[in-house]
Amino acid sequence: MPHPAALELADLTRRYGPVVAVDGIDLKIPAGTYCCLLGPSGCGKTTTLRMIAGHEAVSEGDVLLGEANVTDLPPARRGTAMMFQSYALFPHLSVLDNVAFALKMRGVDKKTRHDKARALLDLVAMSPYAARLPSQLSGGQQQRVALARALITEPQILLLDEPLSALDPFLRVKMRAELKRLQRELGITFIHVTHGQEEAMALADLVVLMNGGRIEQQGSPRDVFNAPRTEFVARFMGGHNVFETAAGKIAVRSDLTRLTRGDGPRPAFVRTIEYQGPHVHVVVATADEAEHLAMIPEAVFDRDPFEPGAVVSIAWDAEAAHALA
């Protein structure tokens, strides 16, 4: 497969009239990275992906791939390929012809392009289905075909627009592992748009969390999760409680949030208790109606179980607290 190249976005901006969808993004994605663009709907992640792909005009800024400025190149000449949300397979073409489509457009003869397409169908374990039409495939199978179709041009970067959102939860976890395996094997960059933080954490080497057209925080999943920069990051990544303190807002991981029976410096009362296996999820509410979640190990909870309505005090170790910007 091809030589991977690094991608750089420089002050990338997209405006729709007065609305700024993507607001001056700077981002470097090293070659061979699994990058997840993460954020709530409307945060500009899909627009960013589409600008990288060349399906969306850039208002300002540049897209650099390796040494080349590809900002104004058509999609097929960038060295990127896109896998569309809900796959966009051609309904009138067989699986094999779908995969071979890009080569047909380049005028590659039938035998060569079909051989190449078969090799890619092998890669995604879809060879037995080559003669079928897309409508005769399940969602997971369609996705594999879409992957093979995107990979046939040997892109340096594969762009995936919410690739797992159309699948049921079981298949989603399975395909997630497969995407990661494929990315490792091919050694090319995957840029994967998702609104699921769990998906991003499971897959990404680099998580780019976006909000309101800007990058809120980027880094490895571990860095982003353990050191959220802002309240938005802490809340979006989940697993954190945000507390007001004299020194400003801080974030504390839910599993490092402790509850002690009786009144204390941070009083609250227990609202709900959910048993989740290794942890018991205890939701407590303070006097100002703010809810916090404490994930208490099963054994610790069993030693002194709470009842809903019990008065508790919230506490954490000093090193568990992260100041938020």
Partner 1 sequence: MTPSTIARHMVAWAQAAPMALVFLAFFVIPLALVVTVSFWDYNDWEMIPTFSGRGYTESFEGCLTKLPEACTMLKTYGQTLKFSFLVWFFTLAIGFTVAYFLAFHVTSTTWQIGLSLLCTIPFWTSNVIRMIAWIPLLGRNGLVNKTLVGLHLVDRPVEWLLYSEFSVVLALVHLFTFFMVVPIFNSMIRIDRRLIEAARDAGATGWQTLWNVIVPLSKPGIVIGSIFVVTIVMGDFVTVGVMGGQQIASAGKIVQTHLDALQFPVAAANAVVLLAATLLIIAAMTRLVDVRKEL
Closest CA relative to residue 271, chosen from 308, 310, 311: 308
Q: Per rule CB under 8 A, is residue 92 in the interface with partner 1?
A: yes
Q: Residue 53 or 186: which CB sits closer to partner 1?
A: 53
Interface map 93-132 toward partner 1 (x if CB under 8 A): --------xx-xxx--------------------------
238 pairs with which residues across the strands?
Answer: none
CA distances from 130 to 90, 146, 198 (A): 14, 13, 33
Question: What is the DSSP secondary structure assignment for residue 103, as one 8-state letter?
Answer: H
Q: Per rule CB under 8 A, is residue 313 in the interface with partner 1?
A: no
Tokens of 268: 């609250």
| Sign (positive or negative) of CA dihedral 19, 25, 29, 34 | negative
Count CA atoms closer than 13 A to 6's CA, side-chain side: 8
CA distances from 24 to 232, 304, 325 (A): 19, 52, 20
Number of residues that bind partner 1 (CB under 8 A): 24
Q: Residue 88 or 293: which CB sits closer to partner 1?
A: 88
Q: Residue 10 or 108: which CB sits closer to partner 1?
A: 108
Distance in Å, CB of 95 to partner 1, minimum: 14
Q: How far is the C-alpha of 222 from the C-alpha of 183, rounded, in Å?
A: 20
133-152 residues in contact with partner 1 (CB under 8 A) are 149-150
Binding residue for partner 1, selected from 5, 22, 53, 121, defined by CB under 8 A: 53
Distance in Å, CB of 289 to partner 1, minimum: 44
Q: Per rule CB under 8 A, is residue 81 in the interface with partner 1?
A: yes
Distance in Å, CB of 75 to partner 1, minimum: 5
Identify whether the C-beta of residue 145 lies closer than 8 Å to the C-beta of residue 135.
no
| Sign (positive or negative) of CA dihedral 87, 90, 91, 96 | negative
Stretch binding partner 1 (CB under 8 A), from 36-44, 74-82, 220-228, 234-242: 74-82
Distance in Å, CB of 55 to partner 1, minimum: 5
Q: Which residues bind partner 1 (CB under 8 A)?
A: 53, 55, 74-77, 81-82, 84-86, 88-92, 101-102, 104-106, 149-150, 153
